[in-house]
Amino acid sequence: MLKGIKLVKKARFFRLDFKWYKGFIMITLLIVEDEELTRRSLVNSIRCKDMGIDTILQASDGLEAIEIFETNTPNILITDVRMPGMDGIELARYVHSKYPDCIVAFLSGFADKEYLKAAISLGAVSYVEKPIDIDEIQSIIRDALKKLEQIREIKRIKQLHNGCNLDLFSIDTRKVCMSLLTGKIDSLILSELENLWLRNEAFENKYLCLIIKMNNFVLLQEDQYESTKQEFYNYINNTGKKYFAGGFVASILAEDRIIFFIKINNEFDDIAKEFALKVIEEYNKKIRLSFAFGNPVSDMEDLKRSYEEAKTALKITFFEREAGINLYKNINSNNYKFDKKEYYKFEKLIYDGKKDDALFFIDFLTSKVSKCHLTDIGYVKNIYYKLYTIIIDIFSGMLIKYENLEHEKDFWNSTKNMLNVFELASHVKALIEEMFEQQNISKGIDKLVLNIKAYIETNYSNHELSVKLIADHLRYDYFYICTVFKKETGNTIGKYITDCRIKGAMEILADKKVRLNDVAKEVGYSDQKYFAKVYKQLTGYTPSQYRKDHYI
């Protein structure tokens, strides 16, 4: 194994950490090869120190390589073309689209023209046939390093023409950010930044962290997500450099936020507010934004503390009706504690049908919670979750029909896109309104069904009795009363008319003086034979058999 290299096994790939640096740019090389012997031979043969390679990573296939890119972002990729699963061409296409500055070279045991065409179209620096010549590989790496330098120089010139601070772009800003976030700042980077800031005499020796959170990115269409995020990141970077000039340190794009480290001057508060308002004006129609500032620190190595404070300040967003500019120094340190007895009070309000009082209960609770910025957000969500389920459980017990009951009971899914406690409260209040409305509808339906039954029980002896007659009498639509009656009772109106008539016939048959023909007429049948047929279907007896077996 090469001197100065430590082999560390991590997950499904091996990482080799190097202890030397070339300037301030950390160069990472990724080798992807499904043949382990070939892969290890390459790793062990490359003269990393001489060539300026800081880290070598290795993967056995394309999918494993993608995992590495998501956490390490290699600068140079050397990949076999033919591999199981995702091949080298597919991997290169992915890298080309996601990490366009990464330099790619291909290895292959086959002189395949189609692969060669694909390699050329993807801007590969070389296409090497196996068996591999290590001198050729090292030549490829040198070419890749030159191309990387050219890319950085082009970017540097572009930034110069845009009037941005050129010196900062001689530093790997992502590495700077990660160092500041962890509090482990490399002495070389620290020295470079200190020299840079000394040249900016307009700024105090104070620094802070700013986090801009993009709150509703999850609502974007999948095909818009990455492009909108990158577009916004570029806009923030350019705007930040204009407003903070030499005081701008570095920025990093995380999943849903951008992290700034800034050196500040006496006018910082005004500039920061102007900057935030400019960004909100430009982007708030697309993205709901929150700005969180940590407290200033006098030592750059303490920026980690300012970062942690900015993260805490972001929590204020959850307790405010509108996302805005949040300062750590403005945090209310109160921590809300909910009295469990309040659940019983709320439950009684719902049981007693006091809708307005229940809505006021939610508003009053939200007003108190919003003033307690250090309350755990999960704790707050749990309070509203329990109130939510109380409502559903009570109305379910009242047999209120609510089609989305099971789906809506999954509170966490239905509220995942809610940004603050006020939206949680609105969600619960909307359920209160809906459930009470459903209850009123249910009461109206119950009354309608009772009226239908009462009319039938009073008029079943009328042989002209029909659903249309009932609908006209009650002044309801024919199809509506059919649907409601069937849904609420499980039977049709016609079936209920027949049941009432047969039940009435049973009572009349007890009077032996009434002739069988007259029994049919008494319960609304003009055809005695049809009456006998229906009677037998429902009771198992003809009318005469029933009278004989039960009343003689």
Residue 142 has a pLDDT of 86
Strand extents, DSSP E, 236-385: 248-253, 257-263, 289-293, 325-327
User: Does the structure show a pLDDT above 60 at 15?
Assistant: no
Residues 393 and 470 in one domain: no
Most confident of 8-22, 143-157, 169-183: 143-157
Q: Residue 122 sits in a domain of what CATH number?
A: 3.40.50.2300
Q: How far is CA 480 from the centre of its chain?
A: 41
Residues 18 and 154 in one domain: yes
- What are the pLDDT digits (tens) for 269-319? 777 778 888 888 887 667 778 888 888 888 777 888 888 888 888 888 888
Average pLDDT score, the chain: 76
Instruction: For residues 317-330, give the mean pLDDT.
Output: 74
User: Does the structure show a pLDDT above 50 at 7?
Assistant: no
142 within domain boundaries:
yes
Distance CA(497)–CA(456), nearest Å, equals: 6
Residue 31 has a pLDDT of 92
Higher pLDDT residue, 214 or 424? 424
Residue 137 has a pLDDT of 86
Helix (H) or strand (E) holding 44: helix 36-45
User: Does the structure show a pLDDT above 60 at 359?
Assistant: yes
The residue out of 161, 190, 212 marking a domain boundary is: 161
Closest CA to 207 of 277, 312, 307: 307
444 within domain boundaries:
no
Residue 113 has a pLDDT of 55
User: Does the structure show a pLDDT above 80 at 46?
Assistant: yes
- What are the pLDDT digits (tens) for 514-533? 888 888 888 888 888 888 88
Residues 197 and 307 in one domain: yes
Kindly indicate the confidence band of residue 139, based on its pLDDT and cuts at 50, 70 and 90. confident
336 within domain boundaries:
no
Kindly indicate the confidence band of residue 250, based on its pLDDT and cuts at 50, 70 and 90. low
Q: Are the beta carbons of 172 and 75 closer than 8 angstroms?
A: no
- What are the pLDDT digits (tens) for 56-101? 899 988 888 988 888 888 999 998 888 887 888 888 888 888 888 8
Instruction: For residues 151-169, give the mean pLDDT.
Output: 49
Residues 482 and 389 in one domain: no
Q: Residue 475 sits in a domain of what CATH number?
A: 1.10.10.60
User: Does the structure show a pLDDT above 60 at 487?
Assistant: yes
Q: Are the beta carbons of 500 and 456 closer than 8 angstroms?
A: yes
The residue out of 114, 135, 161 marking a domain boundary is: 161
442 within domain boundaries:
no
454 within domain boundaries:
no
Residues 313 and 203 in one domain: yes
Residue 410's domain comprises: 341-430
Share of the chain above pLDDT 90, in %: 6
Domain count, the chain: 4
Residues 382 and 309 in one domain: no
439 within domain boundaries:
no
Q: Are the beta carbons of 104 and 92 closer than 8 angstroms?
A: yes
Read off the tokens for 285: 């129609």
129 within domain boundaries:
yes
User: Does the structure show a pLDDT above 70 at 185?
Assistant: no
Residues 311 and 423 in one domain: no
- Strands laid side by side in the 325-327 sheet: 248-253, 257-263, 207-214, 289-293, 325-327
Residues 155 and 172 in one domain: no
Residues 392 and 510 in one domain: no
Instruction: For residues 393-416, give the mean pLDDT.
Output: 57
437 within domain boundaries:
no
The residue out of 134, 161, 188 marking a domain boundary is: 161
Instruction: For residues 218-243, give the mean pLDDT.
Output: 71
User: Does the structure show a pLDDT above 90 at 357?
Assistant: yes
Share of the chain above pLDDT 70, in %: 71
What is the dihedral sign for C-alpha 94, 97, 98, 104? positive
**Helix segments in 162-294, DSSP class H:** 173-182, 187-198, 222-244, 268-283
Higher pLDDT residue, 251 or 430? 430
Kindly indicate the confidence band of residue 216, based on its pLDDT and cuts at 50, 70 and 90. low
Closest CA to 180 of 210, 213, 215: 210
Residue 414 has a pLDDT of 65
Read off the tokens for 233: 């990141």
Closest CA to 109 of 35, 44, 42: 35
- pTM for this prediction: 0.48
User: Does the structure show a pLDDT above 50 at 413?
Assistant: yes
Q: Let me know the angle formed at the C-alpha of 535 by 534 and 538, rounded to the nearest 5 degrees.
A: 85
Residues 151 and 181 in one domain: no
Higher pLDDT residue, 426 or 251? 426
Residues 417 and 346 in one domain: yes
- What are the pLDDT digits (tens) for 367-387? 999 888 888 888 888 898 889
- What are the pLDDT digits (tens) for 425-472? 988 898 888 888 776 666 666 778 888 888 998 899 898 898 889 988
Residues 246 and 225 in one domain: yes
User: Does the structure show a pLDDT above 70 at 221?
Assistant: no
C-alpha pair distances (Å), 269 with each of 236, 273, 292, 296, 320: 18, 6, 13, 11, 21
